[in-house]
Amino acid sequence: MSMHLWIIPLLPLTGAAINGLLGKRFPKALVNTIALGFTAAAFLMALWVAVQFAGLSPDQIPHIERYATWLSAGQFSAEYGIYLDQLSLVMLLIVTGVGFLIHVYSVGYMEHEGGYYRYFAYLNIFMFFMLTLVLANNYLLMFVGWEGVGLASYLLIGFWFLKKSAANAGKKAFITNRVGDFGFLLALFLLIKHFGTLQYDSLWKLVSQHPVESAGAGLLTAIGLLMLVGATGKSAQIPLYVWLPDAMEGPTPVSALIHAATMVTAGVYMVARSSPIFDRAPDARLAVAVIGTLTAIFAASIGIVQTDIKKVLAYSTISQLGYMFMACGVADYIGGIFHLMTHAFFKGLLFLAAGSIIHGLGGEQDMRHMGGLRKYLPYTFWSMTVATFAIAGLPPFAGFFSKDRILWSAWSSGNHIIWLIGVITAGMTSFYMFRLWFLTFFGEYRGPNPETAGHGHDTDAQHAGSHGHGAPHESPWVMVVPLMILALLSLVGGWVGVPHSLHGSDHFEAFLAPVFQAASAGTTAPEPAAETGVNSTELLFSGISVGLAALGLLLAWYLYYKRPELPARMAKAAGGLYTLVLDKYKVDELYGAVIIQPLIALSTNVFWKGIDQGLIDRAVDEGAEGALETSDAMRHMQSGNIRSYAGWVAVGATAVIAFMVWRGLR
């Protein structure tokens, strides 16, 4: 039975084509209808597919649809096809569902912006590529989506391309991702070389005959590590995370959709999808866990001191992605995907709420100029509260269940150091999120006096300039309703995965388990600890992480509500350390000095001035010059004097005759 799954990605593509090619002349209402209509259609179809999927018997899963051969070269061929299993179904629903909500929100947020049709065309094309990425039935097609979302991300980060910082941020994101893509491509080449196929189904069959590389590194370890390089680029992990904070130059709904909820989780999806490879390469999997853990605590520490509301959220995203990698690294792919889902809800919500604040303040992004906003933006306040509690990991919000599951897997897999860092990070997460919450919504409003100053700071591009701004105001309904829906999801989203230790039935685990059980058959993947004996331990560990989250809350309350003058004094006391963290550990400067400057110098002096100008240009120039000089010398033969021509003919004829006579005499 075919579900005609190919229609799903094509729906947003159609929207993008119509809006992108013709939208310039359309009124805004029509652009909205097209962009939202096609996205909504994709979401509805995804729901229908989910219902159909529920009716499939276990042996019909994965449901694979093949449409055509895309390319074939020798033994190798790749096809257009769709691979639908529990994992891609979850991703499909997240992408279309959250994507649709953010489209709705964008209608309100982008109302005053130029290039309205362009924005929605980009957003739709992002949906197309993201759906291609998650639905593809082979790595090559996945790579198309992988690159496509990178393109959409570039276009949307640089949406206000007249602003130099935005254009640069777009370039930075794209180029940093290229580094990761290089690794991913190499992994694909290795797969083609050794297995001859990139189709998931046949690849898993071949990989499953491969022994576990526990004794030493081998082919699968190399492939896994290269895939990790690709994932660090797309999912903003150490060392390639630097582009994500800069990506906040884009419109806030873009940050919510692409740089929090969906695109940056592509790396996690890819690692989870490649679980058969990682399960047979424990070293590569450990590298995933280490990278994820380090990123989690590193980004969280930067997030603590940032003052730009979107920057805090950006570092928080990097940190949460680190959790997902940590989960995949300790073979708890389900936990990673679970956190991916809850994170899509609460982080999407946090960004949208932040966007609502920025919108309400006319472009202000600095939290030092906010405060007391719960009076002005009540709906935003309440939805943001839910999201903050969710990300802090306080029960019964969604983040609690997913984060706790990851930490428990880290502990029970024996990686106690990873668990320890994860728990500390959880406390830090709670602290910086409640810091944001207190700074933004409590205390006195520290912005410009509404009566005297008409405009906020011009940080979110033309946002401030385009509509005159008085007091902070709540956002229109079209923006508030998506906030509420996401708030609801952030509250209840975790309930699908209530662990057994809390007397839940963990539907999420039961749903996704077949994907990873089939994949890891015959490997040493740790057995999920479901025995009753460990329940009390698990509860104890939940208690520890909730306790740390509460501690973070209290600390934030004390520092930013009770004694708001204290943080500045502490920053002064910390001195150089504080500025170092505020400057993001100077990683950008380090990369600039170690990689970018030498590259620029090499390109300028060797490739540009040496090879391009010195060799290629010079060969062309000298060739032309030589031809000119030769012709200049020769043109005197062509004097226009008939008799000189006749003379040359005579000389030539004499030469020929002399030659022939000489031949005859010889």
Partner 1 sequence: MVPLSYYLVLSAILFACGIAGFLIKRNIITIFLSIELMLNGVNLSFVAFAAQLNKLEGHIFVFFVMVVAAAEAAVGLAIIIAVFRTRETLNVDRVNLLRL
Applying CB under 8 A, which residues contact partner 1? Answer: 640, 642-643, 646-647, 650
Rounded CA-CA distance 524/573 in Å is 50
Please, what is the Cα angle at 182 between 178 and 188, to 5 degrees?
135
To which residue do tokens 């100029």 refer? Answer: 369
Please, are residues 245 and 172 in contact by the beta-carbon 8 Å criterion? no
Question: What minimum distance in Å lies between the beta carbon of 643 and partner 1?
Answer: 5
Of 468 and 640, which has the nearer Cβ to partner 1? 640
Q: How far is the CB of 624 from partner 1 (least distance, A)?
A: 24
Q: Are 106 and 120 in contact (CB under 8 A)?
A: yes
- Distance of closest approach, residue 632 Cβ to partner 1, in angstroms: 16
Residue 631: CB atoms within 10 Å: 9
State the minimum distance, in angstroms, from the CB of residue 629 to partner 1: 21
Of residues 216 and 640, the one with the C-beta less far from partner 1? 640
DSSP H helical segments within 566-617, as ranges? 566-574, 576-582, 587-591, 597-602
Q: Which is nearer to partner 1, 1 or 637 (CB)?
A: 637
Least distance in angstroms from the C-beta of 626 to partner 1: 25
Helix 535-557 to helix 398-412 angle (10° resolution) is 130
Identity of the residue, 606 or 651, whose beta carbon is nearer to partner 1 in the bound complex: 651
Computed on alpha carbons and rounded to an integer, the radius of gyration of the chain in Å comes to 30
* Cβ distance to partner 1 smaller for residue 68 or 642: 642
Between 608 and 659, CB nearer to partner 1: 659
User: What is the three-class DSSP state of 540?
Assistant: helix
Q: Classify the phi-psi angles of 331: left when phi > 0, otherwise alpha if psi is within -120 to 50, otherwise beta.
A: left
Structure tokens at 575: 């001195």
Nearest approach, Cβ of 665 to partner 1 (angstroms)?
A: 16
Q: How far apart are CA 329 and CA 323, in angstroms?
A: 10
Reference 150, options 177, 124, 169; nearest CA is: 177
| 483-494 b/e (C-beta count within 10 Å ≥ 16 → b) | bbbbbebbbebb
SS (HEC) of 381-406: HHHHHHHHHHHHCCCCCHHHHHHHHH
| Nearer to partner 1 among residue 572 and residue 643 (C-beta) | 643
Nearer Cβ to partner 1 (58/640): 640
Nearest approach, Cβ of residue 645 and partner 1 (Å): 10
Closest CB to partner 1 among residues 530, 646: 646
At closest approach, how far in Å is the CB of 648 from partner 1?
10
Q: Is the Cβ–Cβ distance between 475 and 380 less than 8 Å?
A: yes
Min. distance of Cβ 658 from partner 1 in angstroms? 13
